[in-house]
Structure 1
């Protein structure tokens, strides 16, 4: 009996491997799946047949010839079901429905005036149930839920209240929604989903760092297997040990050197004799009111600090691709300036939109469905 159990576990494991490869690289032929997994063609054919019968994957057409007969391609069965994704703001939800091949099938928005977590939980549950009611008429269903928490919600403690006929208990929002809807739920911060969206957009197998330069330095690192590394806080990386101290007590960290507040303080110090009106003291007024020498000095300081951070991350985590976003990166032409002085890494400006972000949420949810 144990032998049969081991064989079933191995088969399930190999099915999951096949599905994960199809998520990341599909559609693929049986030969390509054999090359990706290292499994024999016979094993791949048997597993593919079972997955087709289970309506999890399907044959999607004829692929290009490599000298012999043109292969039949396999992909996830987009007719099988959907993943619903939400981006949560303070007074509205944007929703996109994706199929299993991450194609957008529908897009909606919900607006509301009152905001707390039980209320939000109820809105999401009712909305998903309404969508699924219509899908059930077509013998389709929702298999998972992906949620992006907008940046301005980061200070909230996202624990919903789940009430049953027996008792009430505090759970995370994902736990509460998964319990009520009986589907896998993934809840991620926007910064991590942006980095995942960039990773998917570039189609890279390299480690990637997404760095947002605004009122604070925020970052997210994606490893080459698609995992988010949550242990790296780039904002507190020490760049200048003799530099100013941040509120958390770190001297000369990135947050004290390349944020909006840090640059305004530096500009004030450089242009102390020319500043008569505090209304001018915004980062947007820099180019309008200050001399080119001041701007050049600030720009060079920003680039020098970021170069140190990039080289540290490159050596520490073997990161080859850096994506910058935020007001500071655009105003001071960070990408072009850094790329000119660093030849062994790729530096890009972020251009992902909300659809890209929710597609990343859908992909993470799809992986959770499989596993």
Structure 2
């Protein structure tokens, strides 16, 4: 989505929104504006209901300063995640407190038309339940699997969706037509990173990397607090990193020897099916190989199946190599890793991070911090809502 040149009023709103409460004195230290002009702006924003007084700060000798904060019920924002395995709708107030949410699985019936209709119904139901008029909603931020055309709000041609029809879907136009609420589209990995960065706002982190390991491999990078973008949507490009010359490939059109052929859920499923066909010792023999999917493999992992455990850790080691390659190029301060593969078991996460650390070039002088994030499965929708609030002109 595009951003207009911010006004002083917008800059003040964003500054206050990034903190719990702010005094006029703190704002004067940050913004090049006279005391009288700032008083006028704060009064105007309070009268409009954008801000509200929130008690008094500590006194340094004179009167205690008034503290200002964003008025949470002035407006509302919706975050909408669209992924291959599941999708979700979250409704937030203007302070990004969660009002309500709903999740559902993506299956072979969830075509674009069905999804958009279902999402519109869920939005209508939540707004009615909480007595929120559509006119009070700033917008719907959509974090989706790509590749995307963000400018026109179109999901182009994503792979691995269980339902048909996911090509050139004008998701923003269609959702807005059904809800009457403006919609904005962004890469789901980017919104996840935006969400996790917002959750860590008190730490003032400028350089972050987000990697999602699931049906596909997705990544997003933030430098100096801004999302790094290329000339084309970067969704899925991390999975095309070549880690083995003349290696196998996962699907037609992919690179040979690409990371996704060794470190994704489809790659893991393929490995397990192959080993079952070869007669390896495993609890999965009651299943026909073609019927073995990730949920079944997860259950076997939880039961301690040795073959499945070994294949999970082998896949994790490959992912660690790819992650180290990315870190050696980008050098982030904080690395967030998530997705169904990473969440399968903490030992899988440990394997990925151990292999990554061993292959960071500038170690031990350079050591990024790793985590599975604060928001985890809520990160995409939350980041999509943060994106909408950031773009709101508050005029």
TM-score normalized with structure 1 length = 0.71
Mapping of residues 171-250 of structure 1, within 5 Å = 172-178=170-176, 181-203=179-201, 204-227=204-227, 229=229, 230-231=233-234, 233-241=237-245, 243-247=247-251, 248-250=253-255
Aligned length in residues: 347
Deviation, structure 1 residue 40: 3.6
Q: CA 1:362 to 1:67, structure 2 compared with 1: closer, same or farther past 3 Å?
A: farther
The aligned counterpart of 1:345 is: 368
Alignment-derived partner of residue 10 in structure 2: 16
Looking at structure 2, the residues matched to 253 and 296 of structure 1 have their Cα atoms a distance apart, in angstroms, of: 18
Quickly say closer, same or farther: Cα 1:243–1:68, change in 2 above 3 A.
Answer: farther
**SS of residue matched to 1:362:** helix
Residue of structure 1 in register with 2:263 after alignment = 258
CA contact (8 A) 2:191 2:387 kept: no
Structure possessing the higher relative contact order (Cα contacts under 8 Å, 6 or more residues apart)? 2
Q: Residue 307 of structure 1 aligns to a residue in which SS?
A: helix
Residues 204-213 or 119-128, more deviating = 119-128
2:240–2:254 CA contact under 8 A, matched in 1: no
TM-score, normalized by length of structure 2? 0.67
- CA displacement, residues 66-99 of structure 1 (integer Å, 9 cap, x when unaligned): 6764322222222323224445689997543321
Q: How far has the Cα of 1:59 moved from its partner? A: 1.6
Unaligned runs of 5+ in 2: 146-159
Matched, 1:369 2:392: yes
In structure 2, how many angstroms separate the alpha carbons of the residues matched to 1:133 and 1:298?
Answer: 46
Partner of 1:275: 280
- 1:258 aligns to what SS in structure 2? coil
Shift of 1:52: 1.6
SS at match of 2:392: helix
* 1:62 maps onto 2:66 in alignment: no
Q: 1:180 to 1:44 in 2, by over 3 A?
A: farther
Which shows bigger deviation, 42-51 or 119-128? 119-128
